[in-house]
A and B are shown apart, each in its own frame.
Chain A
Amino acid sequence: MKHLLAGAALALMSLTGGVAIAEDYPERPIMMMVSYGAGGATDFQARIVTMTAGNEDALGMPIAIINKPGAGGRVGWNWFATQAEADGYTLGAYNIPHFIAQSIKGGVEYSADSFEPIANWGADPAVFVVGKDSPMNSMEDVVNYAKENPGKLTFSGAGLFVGHHIAALQLEKAAGVKMAYIPTKGGGAAAMKAVIAGDVMGGVNNLSDAFRAQEAGNVKILGVFDLERNEFLPDVPTLKEQGFDIDNASVNFRGVMVPKGTPQEVIDKLAAAVPEMFKNSRVAGKMKAGGSPMHIMTREEVQAMWAARQETLKELLAGL
């Protein structure tokens, strides 16, 4: 009996002494929470970039994706901030500017301080699209129309306080015009459908989806909301080139984070291993095939990017 008790106590100690075993981390499969539904762009990319996690040169343990969709990502991130265990076995996918914009708007239980970034894998800029038969051929045409018809130029995007909405606000501010932003329910696909069907006159959408729609001959892409032209669309000028003072605050950055309170050793280990995992050539090949632009950033770079976004968005959303 004594032996049994001693054995149980020992087992208990080894269980609770989790922090000390950071060298052995990870010992079991890891879970990654995606706050959007299965099949969405974030889920799809998360599955690709984590598919080599089980390799010996990466983490040595597979990463399983778990979806907690709802309310534009708020459900998943609320869960991640308040209920996820900070033991390194629960990772989360982040979308910038979404969760920062939502936390500035309020009504959620997280902010940029609730999470610790690990690494960034992708950056999907927003673009401005119009239907293929639209008379508008440049952003200048769009802004001129908006100037002549204040508040009458309808354009779609995937909801409020997401990258598309930020891009729309930036455009209105930089061009000094009033336009009618129509948020759609059902993500970028519904917003794109509205443009192609002519329900609205234009729209802000993801570069990857717009690229496909342009290839299919359904839309024209007039400008990219980013600092530089994109390799997928070398002929489309940025908004800045067209004379509007717009930076990359609306670019949809996707990456991996852990909850605050995760042991520092575990964070360090992940921050070293995860960017290398993203660099795997199989991952890059699948991402390119899917038309998903990759943009690998380390933990330090992401921390700087989060802080910069926090500032810009606070200013931009102050009037709302």
Chain B
Amino acid sequence: MEFLYYFGDVFTPISFGLLLLGTIGGLILGATPGLSPTMAVALLIPFTFHLAPVQGLILLGAAYTSTVAGGAVSAILLKIPGAPANIATTLDGHTMAKQGKGAQALQLSFLASAVGGVIGVLLLIFLTPVLAQWALAFGPSHLFWLAILGVTVIGSLDSASVVKGLLSGCIGLWLATIGFDDIMGAQRFIFHPALGGGINIIAALIGLFAIPQVLTMFAKGRSATNAEVIEVEKHSIMDAVRELLRRPKALTIGTITGSVIGLIPGVGGQIAGLVAYDQTKKFSSEREKFGKGHSEGVIAAESANNAMVGPSLVPLLTLSIPGSPTAAVLLGGLLIHGIFPGTDLFDNHPDVAWTFINSMLIGQILMCIFGLYVAGLAARVAQVPQSVMAAVVLGLAVFGSYSVQSSMGDVYVMATLGVMMYFLERFGFSAAPLVLGLILGPIAEANFIQGSMIAGATDGMASYFLTGTLNIVLIAIVVASIAYSVWMELRSRRYTSKEEIMG
């Protein structure tokens, strides 16, 4: 309960001012395509040079929290996920926006973010020592199986057919091999200098999601008959709260998945949203509505990606190991003030540690309030004429992919992948499994190579990858996940064939 003691520090005029600044600034930065939470926090670090440690961390904590949630805005309204964490939000969120329910989608996403986020930070406050052990439990073999578990999700994610989903996933896995291999330093498929560092995930995200949409808009603009005007429904906040309460299952699965996966160093944030979305879909009674603008999809994805924020800091704050890129940036922010995360932080600088954590807790709530406030206005984006919209999205796509590492190479990558995806979508392929392949490929590969090197030096491959409780549990989940997908595929085939006979 020590954290309650330091709550007062958050509410001094300067601290609270910084908290507001970080929250609002974070929402805006997060909503800008290409500015991931990691980059937003990195951009703010130089400003903390001039602040006291506590104040600097309040700014960074608030910004981290709200950029993650802010990414949902562009995901829902423009179908551009600001960071990998927001991919799953586009699946149902953007469909809702197209149906004129953008306000509702945004409200739900901010509410779900706040619930998930607060629970995540509470886990950080109360269970840190236990969670730290859990974060360490995952070695190379476990991370490999975890990535494989992610691969099994690919087939059932947002595709008309399992086969096409798996094919998209394979394309993603192949794209992930491009560039210098980080472990061995070998060069693979570098047919243009822009690909030396591999395909940047943010640039790929923008291209794969935004460009097909821009092309579709331009195509539609040519035929005047299709100039549709979307009515943006007004949606009261109370209704959104009620809707959220009617979906406890999505909220629970999202929050738990986000917290558990967020904790694991090196994997967490990127796939938490997608895994939560997939699990919620599998357990939902309204499975067929997913991908067609279903509120559960938004709730699961957004509660998961904000639930991950708190636990993702556990390895950093207790063991001084940054578990995610954003945590690595925060480590820099701590070190610059002479504060070493770990026992030193909680023993010698409890005021800094707890004020930082408290500011994230309050930041979650402030973020929700501001988000709800602007949701109604922001949703009107859907009314912008398609021709204007296409130009704006295209501009943002170029700006976003260039800003990742100030490189035109990323813009070429974004454009190429985008055009490719436009044609693939016409054949029923979809972007989400492709991106999942792109994210999981390197995780699976690096951990397999590392694991096999360790295994080669010690007990051998079979015992390293196949024995041990955690390995067996993960393998069992992988098998169950595959079996479930096969069973669903067979069942849906039987249904269609029956209908065909009836018809």
A residues near B (Cβ < 8 Å) are 37-40, 43-44, 47-48, 51, 66-72, 74-75, 78-79, 82, 102, 105, 107, 151-154, 159-161, 180, 182-186, 189-190, 192-194, 196-200, 212-213, 215-218, 286, 288-292
Contacts and interface: CB of A to CB of B under 8 A. Distances in A.
Contact of A39 (B184, B185, B325, B342): B325
A278 B456 CA distance: 46
Contacts of A161: 185
Given A68-B406, A286-B49, 13 more contacts: A44-B332, A70-B179, A72-B185, A74-B196, A74-B197, A75-B197, A82-B193, A161-B185, A180-B453, A182-B450, A212-B342, A218-B342, A290-B332
A306 to B, nearest CB: 21
A178 to B, nearest CB: 10
A292 B138 CA distance: 29
> Which residue among B137, B140, B185, B193 has the maximum number of chain A CB atoms within 10 Å of its CB?
B185
Contacts of B341: 212, 216
Interface in B283-335: 315, 319-322, 325, 328-332, 335
B231 interface: no
A291 B336 CA distance: 9
Contacts of A152: 457-458
B312 to A, nearest CB: 13
Chain A at the B interface: SS class: mixed
A291 B335 contact: yes
Interface in B436-464: 442, 446, 450, 453-454, 456-458
A166 to B, nearest CB: 14
A185 B406 contact: no
B176 to A, nearest CB: 12
A180 B49 contact: no
A102 B330 CA distance: 29
Contacts of A159: 182-183, 185
B340 A183 contact: no
A217 B457 contact: no
17 contacts: A154-B458, A180-B454, A180-B456, A182-B457, A183-B183, A185-B183, A185-B446, A189-B328, A193-B265, A199-B139, A213-B319, A216-B340, A218-B319, A289-B335, A290-B332, A290-B335, A290-B338
Given A212-B342, A291-B340, A184 B450 contact: yes
Given A39-B329, A44-B335, A216-B342, A68 B46 contact: no
B198 interface: yes
B39 interface: yes
Contacts of A289: 335-338
Nearest to B456: A180
Given A39-B325, A72-B185, A66 B406 contact: yes
Given A67-B405, A71-B180, A193-B136, A154 B39 contact: no
